[in-house]
Amino acid sequence: MRRVNDEKKTSYRKCQRGTMKTLMVFDFDHTVVDDNSDTWVIRCLPDQTLPDTVKNSYRKGHWTEFMGRVMNYIGDQEVGPDRIRSVMESIPFTAGMTDLLTFISENKNAVDCIVISDANTLFIDWILGAAGLLAAVDHVFTNPASFNERGRMEVRRHHDHDCRHCPVNLCKRRVLEVYLAERSEYRRVFYVGDGGNDFCPASCLRGRDAVMPRKGYALEKLLAGLDGREDKVRAQVISWSSGTEILEELKATLRS
């Protein structure tokens, strides 16, 4: 009897040999965390604002280059890496996301998890690390970042691509397609996001997969505007407000 009870308690953790895993794909800003990490970093400045010369230097589709100028300005104000890191670690998680990621970290034999984000490696590593959630994520695909010899944080493009729908530094669909092509087929893929740049990867999902747009954000509005046209998005659309709803969908898939 004890053995039967133990098997019931670990029903999510046990994955029979040959059973395909589930893949969770997350955007980061306004999805895993409840703000934009690239704008949150401004809080490390004494007056928490940027001069107009930096603000007005942004060109559409060239956010990474803009963030390079932002971080250079922050360095010029003698704000060091430790201060930047402490501010980034204070960013709030979206409701229910820590429980969701904790569940994923405890069920790695049944669930793979990746992040595809237009943020950068340092911000994501710091934020997940401070929350003890790095173990939940198998791979992070984002813009590389590091500090140079002057103590300035430099941000580089994740890759070059020819997708006319995405920013020049990152096409999330291309990242997802390459990732899936290099691995065995997943039983089901969940794509969880909020923004306009999450539509492109959603369009490569299969009918048995699910795209999960955050309620009230751009991705949900784009998907609603399709009027059921399966030539654009074949996956099931499941909107969410908190990580708790995503967790219930994931558990239902693992039970089925």
Average pLDDT over every residue of 68-83 = 94
Cβ burial 222-246 (10 Å sphere, 16+ → b, else e): bbeeeeeeeeebbbbbebbeebebb
Q: Using pLDDT thresholds of 50, 70 and 90, give the confidence band for residue 231.
A: low
99 given a catalytic annotation: no
pLDDT tens per residue, range 6-46 = 443 444 444 443 469 999 999 999 999 999 999 999 999 99
CA dihedral 108, 123, 218, 187 (to 10 degrees): -10
Distances (CA, A) of 185 to 16, 116, 206: 16, 19, 11
pLDDT tens per residue, range 141-197 = 999 999 998 888 998 877 666 777 777 778 999 999 999 999 878 999 999 999 999
Among residues 6, 29, 38, 209, which one is catalytic? 29
Residue 229's pLDDT is: 52
Domains of the chain by residue range: 18-34+92-143+156-255
Q: What is the rounded CA–CA span in Å between residue 215 and residue 232?
A: 20
Given a contact cutoff of 8 angstroms between Cβ atoms, the answer to whether 40 and 30 are in contact is: no
Q: Which of 118, 166, 162, 107 is nearest to 140 (CA)?
A: 118
Who wins on pLDDT, 15 or 92?
92
29 given a catalytic annotation: yes
Among residues 6, 27, 47, 112, which one is catalytic? 27
Residue 159's pLDDT is: 66
pLDDT of 67 higher than 60: yes
pLDDT of 230 higher than 70: no
Residue 24's pLDDT is: 98
Residue 168's pLDDT is: 76
Q: What is the rounded CA–CA span in Å between residue 238 and residue 213?
A: 7
Give me the percent of the chain exceeding a pLDDT of 90: 74
Q: What is the rounded CA–CA span in Å between residue 88 and residue 147?
A: 15
Residue 11's pLDDT is: 41
> What fold, for 18-34+92-143+156-255?
Rossmann fold (3.40.50)
Average pLDDT, whole number, for the chain?
A: 89
Q: Which residue has the tokens 């589709």?
A: 61
pLDDT tens per residue, range 99-129 = 999 999 999 999 999 999 999 999 999 999 9
pLDDT tens per residue, range 214-228 = 999 999 999 998 765
